[in-house]
């Protein structure tokens, strides 16, 4: 499986402002930076976009992406998310003011986008991947996804603070190889992390011990102004198998 966290700063560098993971060629998780890919062919190959929640860093360029890849005809991008998130996206973004209502404009013969609701615990298969939505613990209802290609499995918990259910689900899976887990704040802002449903460095270290299996942990979603502070705190705790994501690097797992 190929996984890339798309770069989201200019010029492209390590800072992460937005969230889009590309999985192989045809699946994206979140659309924070998806519409910024300079290679329009790469954008066009993405046919299924799974959204974790409606926060702007996860959906910012969804309207731009759908505009970029629209081709007149019946085939269109599929947007997969919880029913609530699909509704928010339609009402608050594709509402004919902020952006054209691509849902209403879509017909059987000429489609911009198709919405497909997903449910926590019910896996769905797309582009040769089995994708399982799992509830996490953020300040709004949020789904993480576990992507399995039949050989390896990768977990994308999205934005979350401490959660037990997610790790129980992951412990029960037949395989799990990599987890892209967030750390948003340094320890001095632990109370803000708790209030907003995110991890600080210390809660991240506690959290990775909840999983009973050995995996490769890749830290994502560090707020750019705290990135170095978080890296130092995690390094000082000395956990095994933890690294920091390199945006734009293709992880072959």
User: For Zn ion, which stretch binds (CB under 5 A), given 5-13, 54-62, 83-91, 143-151?
Assistant: 54-62
The answer to the question of residue 159 lying near Zn ion (CB under 5 A) is: yes
Q: Which is nearer to Zn ion, 112 or 145 (CB)?
A: 145
Q: How many residues bind Zn ion (CB under 5 A)?
A: 3
Can you tell me which of 9, 45, 47, 57 binds Zn ion, judged by CB under 5 A? 57
Q: Which is nearer to Zn ion, 69 or 200 (CB)?
A: 200
Q: Which is nearer to Zn ion, 69 or 89 (CB)?
A: 89
The answer to the question of residue 55 lying near Zn ion (CB under 5 A) is: yes
Provide the minimum distance between the beta carbon of 159 and Zn ion in the complex, in angstroms, as a whole number. 4
Contacts 24+ apart (CB under 8 A), 150-157: 151/1, 152/1, 152/177, 152/178, 152/253, 153/177, 154/1, 154/3, 154/23, 154/178, 154/179, 154/180, 154/253, 155/179, 155/180, 155/215, 156/21, 156/29, 156/52, 156/180, 157/181, 157/182
Provide the minimum distance between the beta carbon of 181 and Zn ion in the complex, in angstroms, as a whole number. 13
Provide the minimum distance between the beta carbon of 244 and Zn ion in the complex, in angstroms, as a whole number. 16
User: For Zn ion, which stretch binds (CB under 5 A), given 20-28, 47-55, 63-71, 206-214?
Assistant: 47-55
Q: Which is nearer to Zn ion, 4 or 159 (CB)?
A: 159
The answer to the question of residue 141 lying near Zn ion (CB under 5 A) is: no
Provide the minimum distance between the beta carbon of 75 and Zn ion in the complex, in angstroms, as a whole number. 30
User: For Zn ion, which stretch binds (CB under 5 A), given 61-69, 154-162, 163-171, 224-232?
Assistant: 154-162
DSSP 8-state symbol, 184: -
Provide the minimum distance between the beta carbon of 198 and Zn ion in the complex, in angstroms, as a whole number. 8
Q: Which is nearer to Zn ion, 55 or 199 (CB)?
A: 55
Provide the minimum distance between the beta carbon of 140 and Zn ion in the complex, in angstroms, as a whole number. 7
List contacts with Zn ion (CB under 5 A). Answer: 55, 57, 159
């Amino acid at each position: 499986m190929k996984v890339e966290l798309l770069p989201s700063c200019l010029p492209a560098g390590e800072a992460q402002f937005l969230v889009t993971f590309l999985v192989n060629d045809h699946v994206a998780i979140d659309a924070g930076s998806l519409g910024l890919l300079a290679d329009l062919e790469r954008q066009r190959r993405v046919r299924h976009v799974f959204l974790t929640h409606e926060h702007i860093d996860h959906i910012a360029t969804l309207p731009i992406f759908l505009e970029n890849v629209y081709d007149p005809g019946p085939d269109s991008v599929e947007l997969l998310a919880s029913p609530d998130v699909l509704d928010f996206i339609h009402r608050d973004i594709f509402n004919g003011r902020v952006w054209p209502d691509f849902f209403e404009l879509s017909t059987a013969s000429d489609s911009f986008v198709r919405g497909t609701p997903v449910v926590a615990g019910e896996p769905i298969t797309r582009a040769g991947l089995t994708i399982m939505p799992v509830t996490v613990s953020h300040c709004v209802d949020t789904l993480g996804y576990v992507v399995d290609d039949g050989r390896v499995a990768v977990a994308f918990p999205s934005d979350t603070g401490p959660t037990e259910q997610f790790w129980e689900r992951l412990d029960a899976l037949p395989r799990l190889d990599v987890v892209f887990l967030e750390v948003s704040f340094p320890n001095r802002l632990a109370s803000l992390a708790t209030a907003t449903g995110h991890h600080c460095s210390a809660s991240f270290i506690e959290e990775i011990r909840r999983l009973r299996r050995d995996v490769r942990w890749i830290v994502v979603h560090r707020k750019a102004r705290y990135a170095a502070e978080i890296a130092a705190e995690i390094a000082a705790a000395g956990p095994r198998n933890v690294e920091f994501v390199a945006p734009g690097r293709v992880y072959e797992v």
